[in-house]
């Protein structure tokens, strides 16, 4: 178990949980999104290998309407 902060909200995840696992959980695989892990952008190819640790800060963003 680990506690992370995802888009400003506290989320509890299992141990040995990768970014890809998290994206699966939220139906975000293959969506137009970008991920920032502790302030660093994570390229898509590393989603599978990047495991999450306690207190990690994650931001997942997408495009919304804007002027």
Partner 1 sequence: MKKDIFKIAGKSLKSRLIIGTGKYKSFLETAKAVEASGASIVTVAVRRVNILDKKKPLLSDYIDPKKIIFLPNTAGCFTSEEALRTLRLAREMGGWKLVKLEVIGDKKTLYPNMIETIKSTKILVKEGFKVMVYCTDDPLLAKKLEDNGASAIMPLASPIGSGLGLQNKVNISLIIKQSKVPVIVDAGIGTASDATIAMELGCDGVLINSAIAKAKKPTLMAKAFRDAVISGRNSYLAGRMGKNYFATASSPTKGLI
What does the binding site for partner 1 look like in residue numbers (CB under 8 A)? Answer: 6-9, 11, 26-28, 31-36, 41, 43-44, 59-67
Q: Among residues 24 and 53, whose Cβ is nearest to partner 1?
A: 24
d(CA 67, CA 62): 15
Of 54, 60, 65, give the one whose Cα is nearest residue 32: 60
Q: Among residues 26 and 48, whose Cβ is nearest to partner 1?
A: 26
SS3 12: strand
Least distance in angstroms from the C-beta of 6 to partner 1: 6
């Amino acid at each position: 178990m680990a506690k992370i902060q995802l888009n400003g909200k506290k989320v509890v995840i299992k141990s040995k949980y990768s970014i890809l696992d998290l994206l699966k959980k939220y139906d975000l695989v293959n969506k137009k999104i970008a991920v920032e892990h502790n302030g660093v952008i994570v390229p898509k190819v590393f989603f599978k290998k990047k495991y999450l640790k306690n207190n990690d800060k994650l931001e997942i963003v997408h495009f919304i309407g804007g002027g």
